[in-house]
Amino acid sequence: MKICISSTGSSMDSTLDPRFGRAVYFIIADTETMEYESIENTAALSGGGAGVTSGQLMADKGVSAVITGSVGPNAMNVLKAAEIDVYRGLPTTVKENIAKFKEGSLEKIDSPGPSHSGMGGQR
Amino acid sequence: MRIAVLSGKGGTGKTTVSASLALSLGNYQYVDSDVEEPNGGIFLNPKITDILPVNVKVPAVDENKCTGCGICSKTCQFNAIAVIKGMVLLFSEICHHCGACIIACPEVALYEIEKTIGVIEKNEDATFMQGKLNIGEPISIPIIQKLKDEMNPHIPIIIDCPPGASCNVVESIEGCDYCILVTEPTPFGLHDLKIAVKLVEKMGIPFGVVINKSSKDSKIIHKFCDKNKIDILLEIPFSRDIAEAYSKGRLPVHENAEWKEKFRAMYEKIKRGVNK
């Protein structure tokens, strides 16, 4: 199963980034083989619409689930349309989050968090 | 003559200065372009008679023509379109109304629809105008543009600008003959005054400074203005009387005819400044 974890760095040992749209990296991993691809999130610095673009990226990459901290309303709309499930990750490494996901112990998120919460107190 | 009143820092007294100048001149058009929270009306008490909607164009999709190719999503520079499972998702509140998606769509499946983002309000003789952006709308520029379209070039126009020095201020002061930069004698006031000075210098608009809540600390503003050869047009003292009157919706010009004279004198200075 292909899943994506929002990450502060480019490796499996990086810490989860609690922001979705403005995460620094996305780690797209295969939960069976543990092979992964890391993508620098170019939308992180955009003026607006980071969640829409990040959601589109998830759909384009064909992931089935996203593990992150919080997803804004626009990103949630895109992810729901793409039928991608969202799980609340733990403040630990990408690798550990994948392990918890495989155990089935991560909480599923169904409703969006507030807008712009990943913008670092700019609002 | 079009005069814009801006400040950089919020709460320095843009509205106090704009409304006082207007009341001192008598013949004027007051334009509140702080469309997120216009408040000049509190001091000028206009009777609003005309309310005009401000519309922008946002895309809509004809699902019969759309093939879900995703070109619109890639074209949008503002991340306002996603295409998921062949369906176009439009986020109109992020849209900047540029129309690029409409041009890019190879199937001609996108078309424009009107969306109301706010209003402009006028009194009967249009000596007072204000813009109001709807709650939740992020882009105020079209409302400011509409205010500019409705301005009366035959009488002095005073534009009460939004705080800051970003797009909405740029739009408000573009085309003005003179800018009044209102500041206060605090490190924040000075810091943001410097930003506002850079902006008006870049735009090539003549300007001068009003120090509001002036006190012995005003020397930091004087020092900056002396060094950069900037005119100080007027100082309004830090005063309990002024603050108390203000809290009841009254300005120094309401209370004391001397202030009207001071603002008229400032207007004369500005006229000379424009012709420099």
φ/ψ bin of B13: left (φ > 0), alpha (ψ from -120 to 50), beta (otherwise) = left
Average pLDDT, chain B: 95
All residues of chain A having their beta carbon less than 8 Å from the beta carbon of residue B68 are: none
Residues B101 and B170 in one domain: no
B144: CATH:
3.40.50.300
Residues B32 and B162 in one domain: yes
B87: CATH:
3.30.70.20
- Cβ of B82 and A48 within 8 Å? no
Residues B106 and B157 in one domain: no
Write the CA distances from B241 to B23, B250, B251, B266, integer angstroms. 19, 11, 10, 22
What is the rounded average pLDDT of the residues B46-71? Answer: 96
What is the rounded average pLDDT of the residues B16-29? Answer: 95
Strands A85-88 and A107-109: antiparallel
| Interface predicted TM-score (ipTM) | 0.85
Residues B75 and B206 in one domain: no
A74-111: pLDDT as tens digits:
999 999 999 999 999 999 999 999 999 999 999 999 98
B98 Cβ under 8 Å from any chain A Cβ: no
Largest pairwise CA distance in chain A:
41
Is the per-residue pLDDT at A121 higher than 80?
no
Residues B23 and B97 in one domain: no
Residues B11 and B78 in one domain: no
Is the per-residue pLDDT at B274 higher than 90?
no
A49, A53, A59 member nearest B84 (Cβ): A59
Is the per-residue pLDDT at A122 higher than 50?
no
Residues B136 and B218 in one domain: yes
B94 Cβ under 8 Å from any chain A Cβ: yes
A43, A59, A81 member nearest B79 (Cβ): A43
Contact of B205 with B178, CB cutoff 8 Å: yes
In a domain, B51, yes or no: no
Angle CA(B83)–CA(B89)–CA(B93) in degrees, nearest 5? 130
Strands A36-40 and A25-30: antiparallel
In angstroms, what is the C-alpha Rg of chain B?
22
- Cβ of A49 and B78 within 8 Å? yes
The CATH class for the domain spanning A2-109 reads alpha beta
Is the per-residue pLDDT at B276 higher than 70?
no
Residues B142 and B228 in one domain: yes
B76-87: pLDDT as tens digits:
999 999 999 999
A20-37: pLDDT as tens digits:
999 999 999 999 999 999
Residues B93 and B226 in one domain: no
In a domain, B120, yes or no: no
Average pLDDT, chain A: 92
Q: How far apart are CA A105 and CA B29, in angstroms?
A: 65
Residues B19 and B133 in one domain: yes
What is the rounded average pLDDT of the residues B101-127? Answer: 96
Residues B101 and B179 in one domain: no
The predicted pLDDT at position A123 comes to: 38
Q: How far apart are CA B76 and CA A123, in angstroms?
A: 24
Structural domain count of chain B:
2
> Letter for the amino acid at B167?
C
The predicted pLDDT at position B214 comes to: 97
Give the range of the structural domain holding residue B268, as residue numbers without chain letter: 2-46+127-274
